[in-house]
Amino acid sequence: MRINFKETLSSFSSFLYKNQGWIFPIIVLSALISLSTLQISGTSAGIYDYLLGKKPVNLIAGKPRPIRSDEWVVTTPFAVSQYNNGMPAKSKDIGIGQDMSIVADAPYTDWSMLFRPHNLIFFLLPIGFAFAFKWWLLSAGLALSVYIFVLFLYPRKYLIASLLGSIMLFSPFIQWWYQSATILPIIYGLLGIVSAVKLIESRCRRTAIYWSIALAYLAVCFALVMYPAFQLTISLVSLVTMLAILQGRGTLHLLWQRRNLFLIFGSIILAGTIIGLFLWQHSDAVKASLNTIYPGHRNISSGGFDVFRLISWPLSYLLLHDNNSMILGNNQSEVSNFLLIGLVLMPFLIYLSIRYKSTFSKLEKSIIYISSGILIFIAIRMFIPIGDRLFSLIGMSKIPHERLFIGLGLINFLLLLVAVSRRSKKLPKKWWKPLISIQQLIFLAIITVIFSILIYATVRHYNIPNIGPIESVAVILTFSVSSTLLLSSYEQLRIVGLVGVLLLNILSTYMVNPLYRGVGITDNEFSRYIMDVEKKDNFYWVANDSSVLSAIMMASGAEVYGGVNTYPQTDVWRRYFPNSANVFNRYAHVRFLFDSSPQKRSLSLIQDDSFFVHISPCDEMLHDLNIRYIASERPLKSSCLESNRGRIFDGKRIYIYTIKNNSTNTRE
């Protein structure tokens, strides 16, 4: 049988064209399944290999990032510990017990897990597969939620939706802050907007009811992310964006229909009831978290934010190199931002929407103007010392200024969407002529000046020595040309500009997170030793001045004091340190520091989210808390410790001490 390759290719091309809306989702989901099957993730848990003197054989590409400690010191050890201990709702391995539903993004056995669907996979698959699946599910969810949102506003704009989904995923802010608390608010915010608008515009009552249930579910999922610093900002931008869409589509009046008001209030009541039940069930932990000095009672005044922290984003690619980790004034995560090209384009879009009214729909004008309003509101909060009462009333006084970047990122996405998707002229055969039109050349000149100022001011302010004139010109022109193309009257040229924006994002983030096979934290001799000891007794462990050893011990199933307390265990700290509530009453990394002869046990604050416990190995507190073992990276001397020469685990000498029964009282 002879195969007609030309006919087959034509049929295949026709099939792809008819089903082009599925191409991007299939690619994303295929990557999710493939990487999960191979147990590959972007965890920085490979750092444990280096710290234990072990060759990171599971590191496939890139390198683990110490600055990503929220992942490799907090969420990853929690997830592994929970999995190894049967996923209890309250972990008994962390001090006197810790409610795992509060702040910690880890699997646990409780009805509320239905509203944390990204962790359900741990109940179905072995830890290596589940961990990888969860990791890439966040990426897939973010890219596809953007894809769905774009197609909701602009049906059949599949390529634009795919590019914008990829741009959001590869944004520096997302990659340096890659965790559920960062990504899920954006996912639920975008899907919530779609659900709310669908509910309001639906003509069928049954369909509207389905959308109201979906909206309630998304609202509960959003609430249980439990990271207000990102949630409040996303809530504000999402709410205003929803109103802008309704206004632009001419359906805002439908919001006030009796049916829609009933369904919306029904969604609010349903979601509020579920959230209220969760808060009541976990009230002790919730109260403890809310009443903390940090972050519960944290208050930040308006104004005073360093403008250079905001405008340094064109140089995000510099953060990829470890020798540049503090090059922009702080660590990579804290200074990371979105590539805010949409904000640069905003005044040009306003001009074009006034000058060429017919090329902008009412929806696009509504999004541009309302996005501009939100941007001004956020700018006032960041730079002008006014409005503290208003910001306190809506909860924004609790948000550090740099956390508002996530709101700027969402506004940036909306402006890019409008810029590339607005009405287009037919591209002439001499496609290069529009590129050299007077208007485009003027835009290019102005935008080049803007990027020159941003980069020159940043380099000058932070005294960045390793950027030469050729590199500076290349960066300026790349950003300027890509941005100017987005202002073209022709969609084909705008898409080229959007591809340029995607490449800029990829070049700024491609090495942020490594590719690592497995979980890593328990794949070492020290972890296996801990597991063997735990089979014999249930005494507690502490690490001497080491977050790394604490994390490994907890992940290995040991009962541990110290490590990460997502809310204060006040019953313990108040008993032994009654005068130090200002130190222990916080979300904190707790680090024990042993001294053979301290005058008294004490606490000292290291920074907002960590403190030392200064204590003697002979202190009665250790006996009272059933602490028997101390793991240390350096030798300790005390008559209360059984002598130990240390033991080599992989390539690291670790001293495991057993505390003798004798104890003394060194009260605070």
CA distance 285 to 131: 26
pLDDT number for residue 257: 93
Give the tokens for residue 559.
């009962």
State the pLDDT at residue 330.
Answer: 82
Q: What sections of 328-437 are H helices per DSSP?
A: 332-335, 341-355, 362-383, 388-393, 405-421
Distance of CA 579 to the CA centre of its chain: 36
Residues 6+ apart with CB under 8 A from 440: 434, 484, 487, 488
Q: Domain boundaries in the chain? A: 159-509, 525-658
Strands 540-544 and 559-560: parallel
If we measure between CA atoms, which residue out of 416, 468, 442 comes closest to residue 164?
A: 416
Only one residue has tokens 């296996």, namely: 528
CB 23 within 8 Å of CB 499: no
- Centre a 10 Å sphere on the Cβ of residue 211 and count the other Cβ atoms it contains: 21
Residue linked to tokens 């001397």: 637
Q: Is the pLDDT of residue 602 over 60?
A: yes
Task: Specify the amino acid at residue 405.
Answer: F
pLDDT at 668: 52
Task: Please report, rounded to a whole number, the percentage of residues in the chain having pLDDT higher than 70.
Answer: 97
**Range with the lowest mean pLDDT among 44-48, 487-491, 636-640?**
636-640
Give the Cα separation of 633 and 653 in Å (integer).
Answer: 7
- The span from the CA of 535 to the CA of 115, in Å, is 34
Tokens, residue 268:
């609010």
Asked if residues 658 and 629 have their Cβ atoms less than 8 Å apart, the reply is yes
Closest CA to 427 of 347, 345, 354, 496: 496
- Residues 45-58, mean pLDDT to the nearest whole number: 88
* DSSP β-bridge partners for residue 99: 90
pTM: 0.94
Tens of pLDDT, residue by residue over 376-411, are: 999 999 999 999 999 999 999 999 999 999 999 999
> What's the pLDDT band for 11 if we cut at 50, 70, 90?
confident
Label each residue of 384-396 as H, E or C: CCCCHHHHHHCCH
CB of 583 closer than 8 Å to CB of 604? yes
Instruction: Please name every residue paired with 654 in a beta bridge, in sequence order, or none if there are none.
Output: 647
Confidence label for 667 from pLDDT (cuts 50, 70 and 90): very low
The yes-or-no verdict on residue 1 having pLDDT over 60 is: no
* 52 contact partners, CB below 8 Å, separation of at least 6: 524, 525, 526, 649, 650, 651, 652
Region for 384 from its dihedrals, namely left if φ exceeds 0, alpha if ψ lies in -120 to 50, beta otherwise: beta
Angle at 71 (CA atoms; ends 286, 287), nearest 5 degrees? 5
SS3 at position 306:
coil
DSSP 66-87: TT-HIIIIIIHHHHHHHHHTT-
Q: Give 95-139 pLDDT, tens digit per residue.
A: 999 999 987 689 999 999 999 999 999 999 999 999 999 999 999
Report whether 543 contacts 39 (CB < 8 A). no
pLDDT of residue 5: 67
Contacts of residue 204, Cβ cutoff 8 Å, sequence gap at least 6: none
Which residue is listed with tokens 């050890």?
Answer: 77
Q: Coil, helix or strand for 48?
A: helix
Contact 524, 649 (CB under 8 A): yes
What pairing do the DSSP bridges indicate for beta strands 610-615 and 588-594? parallel
Model pLDDT for residues 560-600, shown as the tens digit of each residue: 999 999 999 999 999 999 999 999 999 999 999 997 666 68
How far, in whole angstroms, is CA 517 from its chain's centroid? Answer: 21
Rounded CA-CA distance 262/257 in Å is: 9
Give the residue carrying structure tokens 């001045």.
545
Q: Which residues of 380-391 are buried (b: 16+ CB within 10 A; e: fewer)?
A: bbbeeeebbeeb
In angstroms and rounded to an integer, the radius of gyration of the C-alpha atoms of the chain is 27
Measured distance CA(484)–CA(202) in Å, rounded: 38
Across the chain, what does the average pLDDT equal? 92
Residues 39-48, mean pLDDT to the nearest whole number:
94
E strand or H helix at 60, and its extent? strand 59-61
User: Could you tell me which residues are beta bridge partners of residue 607?
Assistant: 610
Q: Are 483 and 348 in contact (CB under 8 A)?
A: no
Q: What is the pLDDT of residue 409?
A: 98
Burial (Cβ within 10 Å: 0-12, 13-18, ≥19) of residue 179? middle
Do the beta carbons of residue 335 and residue 311 sit within 8 Å? no
Q: What pLDDT score does 56 carry?
A: 84
Helices (H) and strands (E) counted in the chain, each on its own, are 27, 14
Q: Which residues contact 476 (CB under 8 A, 6 or more apart)?
A: 448, 451, 452, 455
> Mind listing the pLDDT tens digit for each residue in 151-173?
999 999 999 999 999 999 999 99
Any bridge partners for residue 631, and if so which? Answer: 543, 656
**Nearest-angstrom CA–CA distance, 114 and 101:** 12
- Residue 433: predicted pLDDT: 77
Instruction: Give the CA angle between residues 39, 40, 44 to the nearest 5°.
Output: 120
Residue 664 DSSP code: B
Which range, 35-39, 69-73, 517-521, is most confident?
Answer: 35-39
Positive or negative CA dihedral for 386, 388, 394, 398?
positive
Structure tokens at 605: 């604050």
Neighbouring CB atoms inside 10 A of 457's CB total: 14
Asked if pLDDT for residue 432 goes beyond 80, the answer is no
For the chain, the maximum distance between any two Cα atoms, rounded to a whole number of angstroms, is 92
The alpha-helical segments, DSSP class H, found in 224-338 are 228-248, 258-281, 283-290, 307-311, 332-335
Share of the chain above pLDDT 90, in %: 79
Q: Which of 239-253, 293-307, 503-517 has the lowest mean pLDDT?
A: 293-307
- What tokens were used for 37? 């099957």
With bands split at pLDDT 50, 70 and 90, how would you rate the model's confidence at 661?
A: confident
